[in-house]
Amino acid sequence: METIKEDSFILVYRDRRKKWLVRPVDTPKLHTHLGILDCAALVGQTFGIAANTTMNDTVYVLKPTLEDIVMKFARRTQVIYPKDLAMIVMRCGIHSGSRVFEAGTGSGAATATFAYMVAPEGRVYSYDVNPTFQDVARKNLEKFGLMGSITLRGRDAKEGIEETDLDAALIDMGDPWELVRNVKGALAPSGMMAAICPTMNQAERLTERMKEEGFVTIETIEILMRNLEARVGMTRPSQFMVAHTCYVTFGRKTV
């Protein structure tokens, strides 16, 4: 069984809306409205245990998943939600050893997800023209030990993509159609491209450009996620729902 170390990230969980991601070395005492949790005393314990705060409120100490980590990223931009990231990883076939391009680092949520999937032999190449965004992303990625599989480039991918023969690409920019030709040149034959669009008009324009550039299997999807409040005899949909976050357009390169 894996035990908690001083530099281990732990998810302190009370319920879906009350959870904290900390490390004992940084937060020996976690102060919450539920009382104070002695995180330093958790070192050497196993993940999954229950612990009491100073107000005798019970919380659970869990090992964080990739979703927990990504959703706790410091952000200067809107992150891509896990429901969308999961589909992108699946559709694009991203796996250990893959080489992935990303245009628009943002806060690093997609970058982190791809790095987690391609490690240890693969590589993620992420471009962003905004140094502030990349600085935030770098800190997020370094904090969680993911930079080993990532190359950050502070440049505009519209001016050219250094890498070639890539397995997959993600465009997360306001005008993704402007990058389709460059991405096609960087992808390996049959490589998959995905692009994030907030609006239908953007997805329409992107699709037309992809057709012009010879992409096939072009498809745009929207993923809605609804939680259920599951209780014996009273199960019903939750009043809160992660509805529209973006449209995701996919296509494959042909030669």
For residue 79, pLDDT over 90 is answered with no
Q: Which residues fall within 8 angstroms of residue 227, CB to CB, at 6 or more apart?
A: 237, 238, 240, 241
> How do residues 91-105 score in pLDDT, each as one tens digit?
999 999 999 999 999
Q: What is the pLDDT of residues 121-160, one digit of tens each?
A: 999 999 999 999 999 999 999 989 999 999 999 999 999 9
Q: What is the CATH number of domain 10-64?
A: 3.10.330.20
What pLDDT score does 243 carry?
Answer: 82
Could you read off the pLDDT of 34-67 as tens digits, one per residue? Answer: 999 999 999 999 999 999 999 999 999 999 999 9
Sheet with 247-252: list strands edge to edge. 150-153, 123-127, 99-103, 166-171, 187-197, 247-252, 216-221
- Percent of the chain scored above 90 by pLDDT? 88
Domain 68-252, second-level architecture:
3-Layer(aba) Sandwich (3.40)
Q: How many residues does the chain have?
A: 255
Stated pTM of the model = 0.90
Range list for CATH 3.10.330.20 in the chain: 10-64
For the chain, give every residue range classified as CATH 3.40.50.150.
68-252
